A = this chain, B = another copy of it.
Amino acid sequence: MQGPGVHRTKVGAFQVTALYDGTWSLPIDGTFVRNASGGAVNRALANAFLPPRVLPISFTALLVNTGTKLVLIDTGTAGQVADTAGVMLDNLKIAGVTPDQIDTILISHFHPDHIDGLKTKDGAKVFAKAEIVVPEPEWAFWMNDAKMAGQPKPVQRYFLNAKRIFGDIADEVRRFKPGAEVVPGITSIPAYGHTPGHTAFAIHSGNQSMLAMSDTVRKPYLFARHPDWQPIFDMDGSLAVKTRRRMLDRAAADRMLVEAYHFPFPASGHMVRRGTGYELVPVEWKPL
């Protein structure tokens, strides 16, 4: 077993805990990035000392303790995406928190690896008392049967999965317009392209902040180094590139502390400009 994946940072008076959920080693081929060759992708992996043709898709949820609320941003996979992922609840326990204590769950978008943790495989709710807060345009897209027709098969499965997760708890879900403050101290940021309503979050306390970029940038050694690359996971590839460039520009220019769901655990650091792209300077593990 890998060691526990629990890493804490202070953002002003807030405590932010990164909770590792595991890693899905996804075989990829020359079609994975629409506008880059398999060879170019493999070279980028080699520069990160990773083997070719496999993408290590790690998952890290964020727990924000605002002092009055325990807020979870995205939920992990609950073992429903890959056999090698689903340990987020174990790490939550190591962090000293039970699922019942979570007050609010913020969802960035409706891809299964971000929402599956809301329910067990058997359909039971995992976070009994949490309010679930989702981007309105995600809800409008994925919960609308009419939008499903004509989509590719894998995307149709995402529709069905969203219905499985949210269908019977629709009245417990609060929808927000991206751009709004969703919890005191946490503001949503429209980051469309990856999915129609994909949303990032800015966590503010005192004069400190953290930008949770969600899936705007996935693996830094691929998509921060090459912001123009369009992975097949980005539904609107060119819009996703615009969003990614805008967010990376801002993060680098303002030297912001950033976090992203698929960055290598503990999934946070700072972005610096380098050549035609950016690179991640990971946070250093240290006492609080």
Task: Please determine whether B56 and A286 come into contact, CB atoms closer than 8 angstroms.
Answer: yes
Say yes or no for A243: interface residue by CB 8 A criterion.
Answer: no
* Interchain CA distance A22-B288 in the complex, whole Å: 10
Task: Please determine whether B2 and A284 come into contact, CB atoms closer than 8 angstroms.
Answer: no
Q: Which residues of B contact A48 (CB under 8 A)?
A: 281, 284
* Known contacts A49-B270, A255-B49, A270-B49; A284/B3 CB under 8 A: no
* Known contacts A49-B255, A49-B270, A270-B49; A285/B20 CB under 8 A: yes
CB closest chain-B residue, reference A288: B2
Task: Please determine whether A286 and B49 come into contact, CB atoms closer than 8 angstroms.
Answer: no
* Interchain CA distance A177-B154 in the complex, whole Å: 61
A41-76 at interface with B (beta carbon < 8 Å): 47-50, 56, 58
State how many angstroms separate the Cβ of A228 from the closest Cβ of chain B. 22
Q: Indicate the member of A3, A20, A49 with the most B CB atoms within 10 Å.
A: A3
Task: Please determine whether B94 and A3 come into contact, CB atoms closer than 8 angstroms.
Answer: yes
Task: Please determine whether A285 and B270 come into contact, CB atoms closer than 8 angstroms.
Answer: no
Say yes or no for A7: interface residue by CB 8 A criterion.
Answer: yes
Task: Please determine whether A6 and B8 come into contact, CB atoms closer than 8 angstroms.
Answer: no
Task: Please determine whether A265 and B281 come into contact, CB atoms closer than 8 angstroms.
Answer: no
Task: Please determine whether A58 and B285 come into contact, CB atoms closer than 8 angstroms.
Answer: yes
Say yes or no for A137: interface residue by CB 8 A criterion.
Answer: no
A229-288 at interface with B (beta carbon < 8 Å): 255, 264-266, 269-270, 272, 281-282, 284-288
Q: Which residues of B contact A5 (CB under 8 A)?
A: 3, 285
CB closest chain-B residue, reference A96: B1
Number of copies: 2
State how many angstroms separate the Cβ of A2 from the closest Cβ of chain B. 5
* Known contacts A2-B286, A22-B287; A49/B8 CB under 8 A: no
Per-residue interface assignment for chain A, residues 10 to 29, with 1 indicating a CB less than 8 Å from any chain B CB and 0 otherwise: 00000001001011010000
Q: Which residues of B contact A56 (CB under 8 A)?
A: 284, 286
Contact for A282 among B2, B3, B282, CB less than 8 A: B282
* Known contacts A2-B8, A3-B95, A282-B282; A84/B287 CB under 8 A: yes
State how many angstroms separate the Cβ of A21 from the closest Cβ of chain B. 11
Contact for A287 among B4, B17, B23, CB less than 8 A: B23
Q: Which residues of B contact A2 (CB under 8 A)?
A: 7-8, 285-288
Task: Please determine whether B58 and A284 come into contact, CB atoms closer than 8 angstroms.
Answer: yes
29 CB contacts below 8 A, A to B, read: A1-B8, A1-B287, A2-B7, A2-B8, A2-B286, A2-B287, A3-B4, A3-B6, A3-B94, A3-B95, A4-B4, A4-B94, A20-B285, A22-B287, A23-B285, A25-B286, A47-B272, A47-B281, A48-B281, A48-B284, A49-B269, A49-B281, A50-B284, A58-B285, A264-B282, A264-B285, A265-B284, A266-B285, A282-B282
